[in-house]
């Protein structure tokens, strides 16, 4: 006798992976419900990439006002930021996007439940608010991640990336703890918005995992713009003083700030989901363990996006969702290749990267089989802007095949430039192909096709 279910697919989490999977499955005729306790869109739309990029744009205007004088523009007085206006405009845009996500789900026929969902067994979900239980043939867990703050004295006084967009008042002195891309982005952005920023990182260089030369170069550029970068430094305690928060460092030094941001990593959001009750196994990172089809240790339960801690990027979560929908309701032939995934870091200047770092390429292919081409220069724009900002571009080539296996950039619009080159690397372009490609002059991007040994 065939078991009866309320839904073909029940999705827990309304972020990038959850919304995409729910919508596409419903469009294929599946009966789909999605539970989300917060706003639709997940971290990216509400507290991540979208608002962060908007604030990055805002910060760049401050630089642009300064640079305009070199081009003959007379900017009267000293431009000031109306923090309240920026926050309000951002909130309006996020609300619009929330509505678009809801509209897409409604149009596809997805039943949206604004509630916290918990697994009770392999096919059953209980809604915390209403107490209702529903049964589904398949369940997708796509709850994303959350910021992690270490347990230090004064932990309750610090903030995370979730709190940065609505800070009140604007922090004139911001202390950023962390060396990853989130910490580095917020350090750049708030420095550009007018804060005095100090960034602390316990390691020897920020942006561990990125190409070492790229990380070193962007650290230098960030410092030129005013970010005070303190390496091999960490906080032992935070307390409130009469004129601000006082952070005590390991060496006994005390730094004072109006706000202390901890951007020391994100962890999968798995608490309170009933994973143990359903028999879903976690890996050593505390993430949900999945196979190539994103099935967990319980075959009827799948997981995608940041909750699996594979590659924590929005486009990857979307791609994983498409594989899941094809597996459950399609031909089952779709797969996802995690090689040559491009990404950008919205520091000032920004980073764009795809493929192997120089270090990873030498380890993977052997040092003798790798040749590096690099170009460092002042972009044409800054010949008149009076800015000292410099651009770095780098190609990592496997000698035996002539294939370009890594491409990295620090400079204006790096993400926009690298996206196009990511297609070439996915297609297996060789250095000879790069060399035979005509550049667009005058652009920074043309440097990638004019590099010679």
Whether 418 maps to a domain, the answer reads yes
How much is the mean pLDDT over the chain? 97
435: three-class secondary structure by DSSP: helix
Clarify whether residues 214 and 280 are in a common domain: no
From 219, 249, 264, give the residue that closes a domain.
264
Clarify whether residues 260 and 274 are in a common domain: no
Distance between CA atoms of 421 and 434, rounded to whole angstroms?
Answer: 10
Clarify whether residues 102 and 54 are in a common domain: yes
Show the domain range for 224: 155-264
* Residue 66, token pair as written in the block: 């300064």
Clarify whether residues 161 and 242 are in a common domain: yes
Residue 11 sits in a domain of what CATH number?
3.50.50.60
Q: First vs last Cα of the chain: how many Å apart?
A: 70
Whether 338 maps to a domain, the answer reads no
Residue 441 bears catalytic tag: yes
Clarify whether residues 129 and 161 are in a common domain: no
Whether 412 maps to a domain, the answer reads yes
Pair 94, 40: CB distance under 8 Å: no
Count of the separate structural domains present in the chain:
3
Look-up of token digits 């509505």: 99
Per DSSP, what are the bridge partners of residue 393? 375, 409
**pLDDT value, residue 291:** 96
Whether 75 maps to a domain, the answer reads yes
Clarify whether residues 39 and 137 are in a common domain: yes
* Residue 171, token pair as written in the block: 């922090």
* Residue 201, token pair as written in the block: 């990182």
* Residue 282, token pair as written in the block: 């976690």
Clarify whether residues 256 and 374 are in a common domain: no
DSSP-assigned letters across all residues of 294-359: -B-SSTTEEE-GGGGTSS--HHHHHHHHHHHHHHHHS-S------TT--EEE-SSS-EEEEE--HH
**pLDDT value, residue 76:** 83
Whether 294 maps to a domain, the answer reads yes
Look-up of token digits 């209980």: 126
Clarify whether residues 254 and 297 are in a common domain: no
From 264, 288, 308, give the residue that closes a domain.
264
**pLDDT value, residue 2:** 53
**What are the start-end ranges of the H helices in 69-180?**
83-108
Enter the pTM of the model.
0.96
Whether 88 maps to a domain, the answer reads yes
From 234, 264, 294, give the residue that closes a domain.
264
E strand or H helix at 240? strand 235-241
**pLDDT value, residue 93:** 98
Whether 214 maps to a domain, the answer reads yes
Question: One of 111, 138, 408, 441 is an active-site residue; which one?
Answer: 441
Query: Across the 453 residues of the chain, what is the mean pLDDT of every consecutive 10-residue run?
Result: 84 98 98 98 97 98 94 90 98 98 98 98 96 97 97 98 98 98 98 98 97 98 98 97 97 98 97 96 96 97 97 97 98 96 98 98 97 98 96 98 98 98 98 98 98 87
- What pLDDT digit, counting tens, does each position of 245-271 carry? 999 999 999 999 999 999 999 999 999
276 contacts: CB under 8 Å, gap ≥ 6: none
């Amino acid at each position: 006798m065939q078991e009866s279910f309320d839904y073909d697919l029940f999705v827990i989490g309304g972020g990038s992976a959850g919304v995409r999977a729910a919508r596409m499955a419903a469009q294929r005729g599946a009966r789909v419900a999605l539970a989300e306790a917060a706003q639709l869109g997940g971290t990216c739309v509400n507290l991540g990439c979208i608002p962060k990029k908007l604030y990055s744009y805002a910060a760049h205007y401050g630089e642009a006002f300064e640079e305009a004088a070199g081009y003959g523009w007379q900017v009267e007085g000293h431009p000031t930021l109306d923090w309240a206006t920026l926050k309000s405009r951002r909130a309006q845009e996020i609300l619009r996007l929330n509505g678009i996500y809801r509209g897409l789900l409604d149009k596809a026929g997805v039943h949206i439940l604004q509630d916290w969902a918990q697994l009770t067994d392999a096919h059953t979900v209980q809604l915390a608010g209403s107490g209702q239980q529903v049964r589904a043939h398949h369940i997708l867990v796509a709850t994303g991640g959350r910021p992690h703050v270490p347990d230090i004295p004064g932990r309750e006084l610090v903030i995370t990336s979730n709190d940065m967009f609505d800070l009140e008042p604007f922090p004139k002195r911001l202390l950023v703890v962390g060396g990853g891309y989130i910490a580095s982005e917020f350090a750049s952005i708030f420095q550009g918005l007018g804060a005095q920023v100090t960034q602390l990182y316990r390691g020897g260089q920020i942006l561990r995992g990125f190409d070492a030369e790229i990380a070193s170069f962007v650290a230098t550029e960030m410092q030129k713009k005013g970010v005070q970068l303190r390496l091999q430094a960490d906080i032992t305690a935070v307390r409130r003083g009469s004129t601000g928060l006082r952070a005590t460092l390991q060496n006994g030094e005390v730094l004072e700030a109006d706000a202390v941001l901890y951007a020391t990593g994100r962890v999968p959001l798995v608490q309170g989901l009933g994973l143990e009750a359903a028999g879903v196994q976690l890996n050593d990172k505390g993430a949900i363990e999945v196979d190539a089809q994103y099935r967990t240790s319980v075959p009827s339960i799948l997981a995608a996006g940041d909750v699996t801690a594979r590659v924590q990027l929005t486009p990857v979560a979307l791609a994983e969702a498409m594989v899941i929908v094809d597996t459950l309701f399609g031909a089952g032939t779709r797969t996802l290749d995690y090689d040559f995934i491009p990404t950008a870091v919205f520091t000032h200047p920004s980073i764009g990267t795809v493929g192997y770092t120089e270090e990873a390429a030498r380890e993977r292919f052997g040092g003798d089989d790798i040749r590096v081409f690099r170009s460092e220069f002042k972009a044409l724009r800054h010949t008149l802007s009076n800015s000292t900002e410099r651009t770095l571009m780098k190609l990592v080539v496997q000698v035996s095949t002539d294939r370009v296996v890594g491409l990295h950039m620090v400079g204006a619009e790096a993400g926009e430039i690298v996206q196009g080159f990511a297609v070439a690397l996915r297609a297996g372009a060789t250095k000879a192909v790069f060399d035979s490609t005509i550049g667009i002059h005058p652009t920074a991007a043309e440097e990638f096709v004019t590099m010679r040994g």
